[in-house]
């Protein structure tokens, strides 16, 4: 059955493979890095890939291979943490607006529309300017930017289910609104939430890298792909490797999550037909 799904849905297979490889390599980085990410080799600055430095070295002589691996763990933590916060914010708003409707729907969804009308990176920058640059604040900023998208998806799914027989039966039994929303409706809207969250991880990683590039995300001396690209830009013509490898890792990871999300959407669509 699983083999058949992967054969008929290559997008899902490729996306899952990329995500698994990135996750395993990033989580196992502590056992795979030949050098400490802050270890300096001043005499080996901006070296090309070699047997001693698989990806070469940066402007401080730090091993790029070690920093790219550890940077993957940082980026995944940022992306997954931000999406988790998005779900905690967006799901309750989406269910309440879809379930109650009326003024609750009007007020909350107009607020969501207002947030969505502001460019994502600009909104995150405004939040981080107020809170200060750090990884935790970057997670919160990305979550606030992404929560309206989750809320809209959940609201649409809730509107489609609120008048179904199992929901009406729960109301007839005298169940509380909270139970109906989170005990009856939520389990039946998990599929679109999972798809949106999967794609959202790639989006969160991209925004997080952009914030780090601008100096408002992950701070030195921590390893992060966006931060590595920022630090390497001044030395691009001396050595392209400090920018090339984290840039490729970032691109492949985002593509992997996008393919996984698209594949899950296709799979769920086939099963519901």
Cα–Cα distance between 57 and 60 in angstroms, integer? 8
Enter the tokens of residue 128. 């981080």
pLDDT of residue 250: 93
pLDDT of residue 134: 81
pLDDT of residue 2: 56
Does the pTM of the predicted model rise above 0.85? yes
CB-based contacts of 241, cutoff 8 Å, min separation 6: 46, 48, 49, 55, 56, 64
- If one counts the domains in the chain, the total is 1
pLDDT of residue 253: 93
What stretches of the chain show up as alpha helix (H) in DSSP?
2-8, 10-27, 29-32, 64-100, 102-117, 120-131, 135-161, 165-172, 177-179, 190-213, 225-232, 241-272
187-221 pLDDT, tens digit per residue, is 888 888 988 999 899 999 999 898 888 888 888 88
- Give the count of beta carbons closer than 10 Å to the beta carbon of residue 106: 11
Average pLDDT of each block of 10 consecutive residues along the chain (273 residues)? 66 90 87 86 88 90 92 90 93 91 85 85 86 85 91 91 86 86 88 89 91 84 88 88 93 93 79 53
Domain that holds residue 75: 2-272
pLDDT of residue 5: 62
pLDDT of residue 65: 92
CA dist list (Å): 253 to 15, 23, 25, 204:
9, 9, 12, 11
pLDDT of residue 18: 93
- The CATH number given to whatever domain includes residue 105 is 1.10.3720.10
């Amino acid at each position: 059955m699983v083999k058949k799904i992967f054969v008929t849905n290559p997008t899902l297979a490729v996306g899952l493979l990329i995500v698994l490889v990135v996750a395993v390599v990033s989580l196992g980085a502590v056992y795979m890095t030949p050098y400490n990410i802050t270890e300096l080799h001043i005499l080996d600055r901006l070296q090309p890939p070699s047997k001693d430095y698989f990806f070469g070295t940066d402007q401080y002589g730090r091993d790029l291979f070690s920093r790219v691996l550890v940077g993957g763990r940082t980026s995944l933590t940022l992306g997954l943490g931000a999406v988790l916060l998005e779900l905690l914010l967006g799901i309750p708003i989406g269910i309440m607006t879809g379930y109650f409707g009326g003024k609750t729907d009007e007020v909350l969804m107009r607020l969501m529309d207002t947030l969505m009308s502001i460019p994502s990176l600009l909104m995150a920058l405004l939040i981080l300017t107020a809170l200060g640059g750090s990884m935790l604040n970057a997670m919160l900023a990305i979550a606030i930017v992404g929560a309206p998208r989750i809320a809209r998806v959940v609201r649409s799914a809730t509107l489609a289910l609120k008048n179904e027989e199992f929901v009406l039966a729960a109301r007839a039994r005298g169940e509380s609104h909270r139970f109906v929303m989170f005990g009856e409706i939520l389990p039946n809207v998990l599929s679109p939430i999972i798809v949106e969250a999967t794609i959202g991880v790639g989006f969160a990683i991209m925004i997080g890298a952009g914030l780090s590039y601008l100096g408002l995300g992950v701070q030195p001396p921590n390893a992060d792909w966006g931060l590595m690209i920022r630090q390497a830009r001044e030395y691009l013509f001396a050595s392209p490797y400090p920018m090339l490898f984290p840039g490729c890792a970032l691109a492949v990871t985002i593509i992997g999550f996008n393919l996984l999300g698209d594949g899950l959407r296709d799979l769920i669509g086939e099963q519901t037909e």
